[in-house]
Amino acid sequence: MRKWKMIRSKRAMMGLEAAIILIAFVIVAGTFSFMVITQGLFATERGKTVVQEGLQQTSTPLCVDGSVLLKSTGSGVTAIMIPLRAYGVRYVAMAKDQTAVTLKVGNNAWSNIYEGVNQTLSASATFDDLVIDATEDRARLFIKNTNGDNALDSNEKGYLIIKLSTEASARDHVVVEIKPERAAPLTVDFYVPESLQTGWITVSG
């Protein structure tokens, strides 16, 4: 009888040890599974972020919203106006240190002529007024309905004014590249019309 009790006691201990081992195994397996799932979710989110950043850098958030205008003296062009709007995003950061504008006119080229956003655009201002406020051989962005920051919001319209110190001649090839930070550039490419009339004229690409 005593021997039988000892056998039962040993069996109970073995059963308890097996249960403890099983519980420990379940805990370890659960922890490992949680780590695997967490790492998988992190990798998935990271992959989505990389894809989104890649798409952002291969597409431009800016578009030309209307006609490109040239200020003509009758013999040459002294200013360029490019209407801009944010496309597919809530806003585009357009501060001086976040955007670059390169310019090529004929055989002359400038690496970065962007001066930033002008915050003093009046509702009654004309394009001639904007040119007066601009600096020669520089580009400045004027924003209509601005909220006072250095971004072009989706409900705002921007006018990029480029004032030239030397007149662009008829048939000159003009290339303007607007490069926001971490995004593909918007390129505006056209030829100065052969026939120039005094005042603002429309050009096609």
To the question of pTM greater than 0.85 for the whole model, the response is: no
Cα–Cα distance, 190 to 205 (Å, whole number): 4
Domain count, the chain: 2
Tell me the pLDDT tens digit for each residue of 33-48. Answer: 556 555 554 444 544 4
pLDDT greater than 50 at residue 142: yes
As a whole number of angstroms, the distance between CA 126 and CA 141 comes to: 14
DSSP β-bridge partners for residue 151: 93
Domain boundary among 58, 76, 100: 58
Domain that holds residue 12: 1-58
Question: Each residue of 40-74: pLDDT tens digit?
Answer: 544 445 444 444 444 344 467 899 999 999 999 99
* Cα separation, 71 vs 164, whole angstroms: 10
Same-domain check for residues 100 and 147: yes
What are the tokens at 113? 């002529």
